[in-house]
Every structure is written in structure tokens, then in C-alpha cells.
Amino acid sequence: MTLEIITSHSLSPLRHGFFTRKGGASSGVFAGLNCGNGSSDQSEIVAINRARVAAAMEVAPELLINVHQVHSAKVAVVEGPHPGPVPEADAVVTATPGVALAVLTADCQPVLFADAQAGVVGAAHAGWRGAIDGVLEETVAAMVALGATREKIAAVIGPSISQRAYEVGPEFFDDFMGEDPANARFFAGGAGDRMQFDLPGYGLHKLREAGVSAEWTRHCTYSDPERFFSYRRSCHEQEADYGRLISVIRL
């Protein structure tokens, strides 16, 4: 099956893509393009899937660079393959042509960044914890340190869990009210004491506050099992594990 790659005009002419689960070699609950080495999928199969992504990005597999994601605001600056252990971070930036930056998600926001004029790109994994702690702003700051300018940076949020599928409890709401009472606008009423959180809406707000242009592709991971993996959906369906989607950008 052919790979399915979602792209954005905002990131053109740079090669990039939010890959769906279509076109991969995995089976079972991972059926399709599972690129998560942290999953219990066969490592050889994950390597095949990653090689297909690298080929689509026109780079060697070792130049498809990601980090050990830990729901933080840490950003890694890279020029090529990691010389030692994969660093713990949730974003990665580069000004080196030919290096493809990747993040893995399964409901959290994958965000791709580019200042094509300056020749600087970035990729971030932004779940609610990383977003509230500042991973998006830190990614922009790291790009600026490499020569990008905020007004020229385009940021695109890829397939993520949508508000209608993201039910949260009162403690979650309290965390966001503690950061800024205006965050109430990202919540809608749900059943009982539950609420529905708008993760992409919050991400767009954080990006625009950081001074960059931003958009969301408007794909919901939870609501489209044929195209996307979803951590929350796998929990609701009591599956043993779940696949990870990959999003990539390169100079």
C-alpha cells in the first residue's frame, strides 16, 4: 500500500509530511506504518517502516533523526545523527541541509516548523504537559538562535486528538486555570464534572503568542482509526499497545 502523507502549503517548498498509518509493514494493533521504537511491535518491522519514511523524505535512514520523548519542554539542536545515546527531549531543530527531523505521536500534537528563507526547521511533540510547560515556545527560541526570525517561521499542527474526543477531569482543568484563567476558553462542558479540552486550539494559541504563524490540519487521530493511531482509543478499546505516527521535515 502507498504511503499517505499530509502536507501544508505553509511549509512549502521544504520536503515535509504528517504520515498516516497507511503503507506500513506492521500488523495487529500496529497495522500499518508504526514508527515507534518504544512500542512492543517487532523492531525489524519498525525499521522497515522508518526506512520507507526516510525514502519518502529522500534521506538515508540514519538521517531520520528523532529524540527520546518525555513530555518535556526540552529541545535538541542537531547537525546529524546523535553521536551518543538519543537525548531526552520533545523537540528537535536544525540548520543542516539533508537532515530530516521527526517526532512520534498518537493523539499529542506533532508540530512542524520552518523558516525556509533562513534555512532552519524544527519538529515538536506537544501533548498537554509539554504544551503547558513551553515546548512550542522553546522550539521557536531554538530556531531563532540558529538564525530564524519569528515573523518568517511557519508552524503547522498535524493530526491530533480533537476537542470532541478529549474528555478530561477537574484536576486537569485546574492545572490550566493555574497557568492562566483565560485558558477557560479551551474547555467545553461535558458529562458530570468532565470537560472537553481543545488541545490543538491551545497549541495554536501558544504558537501565535510566540510570534509565529500557525495552523492545524484539522485531522482528529481518535476519530479516524483507518488513518491514525490513537493512544486514547487504544485504551478505550482495551488494546495491549498502540502504534505511533511519524511527522517529518527536512531542509
Q: Which tens digit of pLDDT belongs to each residue from 202-211?
A: 999 999 999 9
pLDDT tens digits, one per residue of 214-234: 999 999 999 999 999 999 999
With pLDDT > 90 as the criterion, what percentage of the chain qualifies? 98
What's the rounded Cα separation, in Å, for the pair 208 and 21?
29
Q: Rounded to an integer, what distance in angstroms lies between the CA atom of residue 221 and that of residue 230? A: 6
Q: How does pLDDT run across 140-176, given as a tens digit for each residue? A: 999 999 999 999 999 999 999 999 999 999 999 999 9
Task: Examine the pLDDT at 180 and tell me if it is beyond 90.
Answer: yes
Question: Any idea which fold 5-162+198-250 has?
Answer: CNF1/YfiH-like putative cysteine hydrolases (3.60.140)
Mean pLDDT of 41-64: 97
pLDDT of 44 reads 97
Q: Domain segments of the chain: what residues?
A: 5-162+198-250
Residues 45-64 have a mean pLDDT of 98
Mean pLDDT of 74-96: 96
Euclidean distance between CA atoms 221 and 231, whole angstroms: 9
Say if residue 190's pLDDT is above 90.
no
Q: What is the pLDDT of residue 191?
A: 87
User: How much is the average pLDDT of 35-45?
Assistant: 95
Does 1 have pLDDT greater than 90?
no
pLDDT at site 148: 98
Question: pLDDT of 89-145, one tens digit each?
Answer: 999 999 999 999 999 999 999 999 999 999 999 999 999 999 999 999 999 999 999
pLDDT at 229: 98
Residues in a beta bridge with 72: none
